[in-house]
Structure 1
Amino acid sequence: MKAFLYSGLFLGLTVVIAGCGSNTTDDPIPGPVLAVSQHLTLGNPSGATTDASQPTNYLLVKPQYALSYHRDRGTPNWVSWHLTSADLGSASRQDDFRADNTLPTGWYQVQSTSYTGSGFDRGHNCPSADRTATVADNSATFLMTNMIPQAPHNNQRTWANLENYTRTLVSTTQEVYVIMGSYGKGGTGSNGAQSTIDQGRVTVPARIWKVVVVLPIGDNDASRVTTSTRIIAIDTPNDNTVSSNWGSYRTTVDAIEVATGLDLLSAVSASVQSTVESRVDTGPTQ
């Protein structure tokens, strides 16, 4: 918890102009549209805005998730999304990895082939399986602005296990908020250690983290986070020798904030944050 709130945050909702500062888009929200993103209900961790003069903290809001993009790293700083039972349907995995042409004109767009031969997976932040209500929702998760270079075992074992577990927490009576990000430079994939890929245009992160907030179904979600709310925070090395047991990487929200400089859960009351952000989850892992 940090002792400030970011501009643009009002009653736990962030108001943005979708498409502002962008070129032609394939985003389901066409043109400049005033939007209040449910995915930022618990806060905007870095105060990201749609100001193209802030290329290391550029806000992208999709109907399916919101993120802060770092142009110079070619990856998101963080991705945030709300997950309910309505998001889980029968749409198949689209596998249509592609560049995100909603980025400001002139910015390099990471391509579907940018990770080819690197030894790293195109690792989703917001997972494909979290968005299966419609084909369009699933397809949106394959934009390269939602990807990081992720060690294959980290992606396919550790994170897959956590993602699967998170979806079991969602029901007709329970919802979750998820924030995921990465930091540092240099990971170890199937071809060994690397700091960058795509001719230096994409940074390989050293660490990958996630925070999961579990709530009963209801309204005014930020105000319903209490000192007894279950919050899972994990931080793993981006390494191919990582354990498949995500529970062994549990940490505190405070520790992630110290490592990243972010202000997570900033829309939650300060008194609640001081308790829940200093606590390591001890709940089940499957």
Structure 2
Amino acid sequence: MLLKPQFSPKNYHRRGFRLRGNTLVLLFVFFLIGLFLHYGGKTKPVVAFWNDVREIVGLGKSKSAPGDNPYKAPEPQDNSSGKKNDETESEASDESVASDNNGGKSSGNSPKNDRFDFEKQVDFLLPLVKSGDEIIRHEGYTLRYVDQYKDASWVAYPLLDYETKGDADRKFEQFKPDPAVANGTAVTSDYTRSGYDRGHLAPAADFKFSQRIMRETFFMSNITPQVPDFNRGIWSDLENQVRSWARRDHGLYVVTGPVLKPGLATIGKTNEVSVPEKFYKVLLYCNKPQIRMIGFLLDNEGSDKSIREFVVSVDLIEQLTGLDFFPKIPDDLERQLESRSRGEMVDAWFDN
């Protein structure tokens, strides 16, 4: 007699949870989505996750790869409404508390230049301000915003030698609309896939002494469309030269901006942001009785030329921009400084 077995593999079903191949794939997809949601806007999600793991086990963060592009990554979170994003600012503040060692104050070790009496006047370093101008004041710099172009026509600030030194790092910051601008600034998405960099007027690296003040340079009021080869090339070279002079001379005054005029090309999905064709810098050094001024005018394009080739008289920049730089300097002295020839300025600044 044949006995029919009660157990048959065909009728066996394993009880409980069992991971199938497609379930593993779904879990992996959800894991990646979680990474993007958690780390979106800081840095690349996998790198950020790996940095967190390294910190937990006491290895510290890994360094950025040499090929990283600081002007493009991290891609900022957009705030199209132009309103202040408290959550984002709180997060950035938590990341950067330890980097603001000087608290925005001088270390006291930097030599001080002797000041002229006219330097002591209120807003001495600002170009002439006219009725109706929208002047935006931040802790590190002051600017004039022109809503017609969604650009600043100038940004002005004193640059002291100690301010260029420190451990503040731009990787902690995000581009964001400036809540101080009445009608709102451009938003980050206006630049996305436009072919232009979000170019700083007051550079982040000019404020390495304070993470808090460096954060102000990422307001979109301080940002303007720049050709990548220009922003990362000759413009960056000029910014480095300015910092070198600030350290050498223990401080100087900086006024910088685009040449704005009707008819410029525009970019933007939410706003029409004018793309400047030229940018300028005007620098003033004062150490009584010494005083000197220099101007730079550059096309918004890449260049292999020396920055000396872009030295121009400040008079020329005033003619192109309609601005009056350092109007509180006595007229005779102002005219003398602003009309200096290119050769005189090169000798005074580069060969000093």
TM class, shorter-length: 0.7 to 0.9
1:42 counterpart = 2:118: no
Partner SS for 1:156: helix
With normalisation by structure 2, the TM-score equals: 0.60
CA distance in 1, matches of 2:146, 2:285: 28
Contact 2:162 2:247 in 1 (8 A): no
Aligned to 1:212: 283
1:90 counterpart = 2:167: yes
Residues 40 and 76 (structure 1), Cα distance of their counterparts in 2 relative to 1, 3 Å cut: farther
CA distance in 1, matches of 2:277, 2:333: 30
CA distance in 2, matches of 1:38, 1:148: 31
Tell me which of 226, 236, 243 is aligned to 1:150. 226
Aligned to 1:282: 346
Tell me which of 227, 245, 252 is aligned to 1:176. 252
Contact 2:177 2:184 in 1 (8 A): no
Matched residue type, 2:199: G
Matched residue type, 2:160: T
CA distance in 2, matches of 1:171, 1:97: 28
| CA displacement at 1:285 relative to structure 2 | 4.9
CA distance in 1, matches of 2:122, 2:339: 21
1:270 counterpart = 2:331: yes
Tell me which of 122, 125, 131 is aligned to 2:201. 125
Partner SS for 1:171: helix
1:257 counterpart = 2:322: no
Contact 2:153 2:260 in 1 (8 A): no
Contact 2:152 2:222 in 1 (8 A): yes
Contact 2:128 2:326 in 1 (8 A): no
1:25-104 equivalences in 2 (<5 Å): 41-48=123-130, 54=132, 57-88=133-164, 89-93=166-170, 94-104=172-182
Taking CA–CA contacts closer than 8 Å with sequence separation of 6 or more, which of the two structures ends up with the larger relative contact order?
Answer: 1
Percent sequence identity over aligned pairs: 27
Contact 1:40 1:81 in 2 (8 A): no
| CA displacement at 1:251 relative to structure 2 | 0.3
Query: What is the RMSD of the two structures over their aligned residues, measured on CA atoms?
Result: 2.9
Matched residue type, 2:176: R
Partner SS for 1:138: helix
User: Which sections of structure 2, spanning at least 5 residues, go unmatched?
Assistant: 1-82, 90-118
Task: Give the count of matched residue pairs.
Answer: 231
Residues 38 and 72 (structure 1), Cα distance of their counterparts in 2 relative to 1, 3 Å cut: farther
CA distance in 2, matches of 1:172, 1:164: 12
Partner SS for 1:169: helix
| CA displacement at 1:90 relative to structure 2 | 1.7
Tell me which of 292, 297, 301 is aligned to 1:239. 301
Matched residue type, 1:214: Y
Contact 2:149 2:260 in 1 (8 A): no
| CA displacement at 1:211 relative to structure 2 | 0.6
Residues 235 and 251 (structure 1), Cα distance of their counterparts in 2 relative to 1, 3 Å cut: same
